[in-house]
Amino acid sequence: MPDGLTVNYDGLIPNNVDLNADARVRKALETWHPGYIDWWKDMGPEGFQEALVYLRTAVSVDPKGWAKFDYVRMPEYKWGILLAPKVEGRLIGFGQHKGEPAWQEVPGEYRGMLRRLITIQGDTEPASVEQQRHLGKTAPSLYDMRNLFQVNVEEGRHLWAMVYLLQKYFGRDGREEAEELLRRRSGSQDSPRMLGAFNEATPDWVSFFMFTFFTDRDGKMQLEALAQSGFDPLSRTCRFMLTEEAHHMFVGETGVQRIIERTCAAMREAGIEDPADTERVRALGVIDLPTLQKKMNLHFSLTLDLFGSEVSTNAANAYNAGLKGRYREDRLEDDHRLLDATYPVLRCRDGAIVREEVPALSSLNMRLRDDFVQDCQGGVNRWNKVIEKAGIPFRLSLPHVAFNRKIGEFAAIEADPEGRVLTAAEWAAGRDRWLPSTDDNLFIESLMRPVSRPGEFASWIAPPKVGIDNKPGDFEYVKLWG
Ligand SMILES: [Fe+2]
Ligand SMILES: [Fe+2]
C-alpha cells in the first residue's frame, strides 16, 4: 500500500497517487508523455540536453527529506506527480462553503472556473522554461548553470502537476487543455502563452535573477492562494510545489545579492565612492547599481500585471466558491467569508491616484498583490544591507505600483517610480532613467560571456557562500560533455 509519502519510481511516471491502480489516467499521461519530451527537447535548455547536471529529484513528499541529488541528463529527469499527504477530515476554509468537507471530486457547478484556474497556472510553468532556454550558453559559472537547469526541470514538473489534475478530473476537456499547454509558445504571435509577463524575453542573467525573484514569487503567491483551495487535490498539489518554489526564490534573491556584492567590492577596491559614476563602475566589469535598479523596476512592474485587475469579479467568484483563497488564509483571523468587509485599494480617479475602500471580495487581487509587495520588500532590505555594509551611499527600492503598468487601474496613466502622475512627454523624457535603456542592455549583454571552468565565476558576480548540497567551491555541477 502506498503510504502517501514515498514515491513509486517503478513506472514511466514516478508518483505518489497510486497511478498503477488508475489505468485511465495512467494511459492519458503516458499518451501525453512523448509530446512533453518533444516539447522539452525543442523548447528546453538549448545546447545542453546531453550534459550531465547535478540535479535534485523529489523522491518523497516528507518535508524532512524529500530530495536526492545526482548527475542526470535533463531529458531523462524523473518528472513525477507528487501531492502533499492528505489531511484527514480537511474542511473548506473560506467562502460560501466554509466548514463543509473539502471536495475530493470537482464540484459540478464550479467545473469551468476550476479548469481555468488550473490551466492558467499550468501555462506559466512551461512558459518560463521557454523564456530561459538560451541562458545556459552565457552562464556566469557552472554553479549558476546548474541552478538555472534545476529551476527549469522543476517548472517542467509543475506542468506535469497541473496536467495530472486536468487529465484526472476533467476528462476530455482536460486532455484537450493538456495538449494546448504543449502547443502555446512564449512570445509567439499566433499562440502566445496566456499571461503577458510570460511572453517577455529573458535576455540575460540579470533578467533571469530578477525574474526568479519577482515573477517566480508571483508564482509562489498564486500557489499559496491555490493551496488553500477547497478542491483538495489542487490544494495538495500546490502545497508540494511550494517546497520546490522556495529554491527558485533562493536563486533569484542570492543571484542579485551576489551581483551587488561583486559591484560593491569592485567599487571599494577602485576607490569609487559615487554609485552614479556608471562609466567608471562599468569599466571594472561589474554592473552599476543604478542599472540594477532599472532592471528591478522593469521586472517588478511586469510582475505586478500578473495579479490582474485590482477590482475583479472573477477573484470574488473564485473566493466565494471556495476555490482560491487569500495568502495564508488559514492563519488569518476573520470570518473567511468577507461579505461585509472592505479593503483599501489604490485607484485612478480623474488622472490622480487615490485610496478607496472597496468590498473585500472584489479586491482580492489587490490584497494578494499587497502581500506580494511586502514579501519582495524583505528581499530588497537584505540587498540594501549589503550595500550599506560596503559604505556605499545608494539604496535599492521597489517602484510605486502605478509605475509602468499595462493592466488594471494604472494602465491608462503614466507614473514615475515615486508614483507621480506624468504627462506623455514627461514619461518619454524620463523613461531611460527608470527602465533599462538600449545602452544599458548592450552593456549587460557585453558581460554575458560563459564561464565554464569549475569554481570560476564571471567578473560581475561573486561566488556563493555555500555550494548546492554542501559541495565544495570547485565542484563540477555540470559535466558539459556528458
Ligand atoms: Fe512553477
Ligand atoms: Fe518557479
Q: pLDDT digits over 328-368, tens only?
A: 999 999 999 999 999 999 999 988 999 999 999 999 999 99
The identity of residue 428, as a single letter, is A
| Ligand 1 midpoint to CA 122 (Å) | 8
| Ligand 1 midpoint to CA 218 (Å) | 10
| Ligand 2 midpoint to CA 357 (Å) | 33
Cα gap 353→346, rounded to integer Å: 7
Q: Residues 448-455: what's their mean pLDDT?
A: 97
pLDDT score of 71: 97
Residue with the bigger pLDDT between 203 and 67: it is 203
pLDDT score of 160: 97
The SS3 call for residue 463 is coil
pLDDT score of 10: 77
Q: Which fold has domain 28-479?
A: Ribonucleotide Reductase, subunit A (1.10.620)
**pLDDT band with cut points at 50, 70 and 90 for residue 482:** low
| Ligand 1 midpoint to CA 464 (Å) | 23
| Ligand 1 midpoint to CA 139 (Å) | 21
Q: What is the pTM of this model?
A: 0.96
The residue whose grid cell reads 494546448 is 180
89 phi-psi bin (left φ>0, alpha ψ -120 to 50, beta other): left
Task: Report which of 85, 100, 90, 83 is spatially closest to residue 321, judged by C-alpha positions.
Answer: 100
Residue with the bigger pLDDT between 156 and 11: it is 156
Residues 434-443: contacts with CB within 8 Å, 24+ apart? 434/294, 434/297, 434/399, 434/403, 434/404, 435/294, 435/297, 435/298, 435/404, 436/291, 436/294, 436/295, 436/298, 437/294, 440/291, 440/294, 441/203, 441/204, 443/282, 443/291
Instruction: Tell me the pLDDT of the chain averaged across its residues.
Output: 95
| Nearest ligand by distance to the CA of 252 | 2
- For the CA atoms of 178, 3, 20, 232, what is the dihedral angle to 10 degrees? -30
Q: Tell me the pLDDT tens digit for each residue of 121-168.
A: 999 999 999 999 999 999 999 999 999 999 999 999 999 999 999 999
Q: Residues 231-253: what's their mean pLDDT?
A: 96
Q: Which residues, chain by chain, have CB under 5 Å from ion ligand 2?
A: 216, 219, 248
pLDDT score of 3: 55
The identity of residue 82, as a single letter, is L
| Ligand 1 midpoint to CA 370 (Å) | 21
Q: Quick one: what percent of the chain has pLDDT higher than 70?
A: 99
| Nearest ligand by distance to the CA of 215 | 2
Q: Quick one: what percent of the chain has pLDDT higher than 90?
A: 93
| Ligand 1 midpoint to CA 159 (Å) | 8
Cα gap 260→213, rounded to integer Å: 14
Q: Tell me the pLDDT tens digit for each residue of 13-72.
A: 999 999 999 999 999 999 999 999 999 999 999 999 999 999 999 888 887 777 899 999
The SS3 call for residue 101 is strand
pLDDT at residue 2 greater than cutoff 50: no
The residue ranges of every structural domain in the chain are 28-479
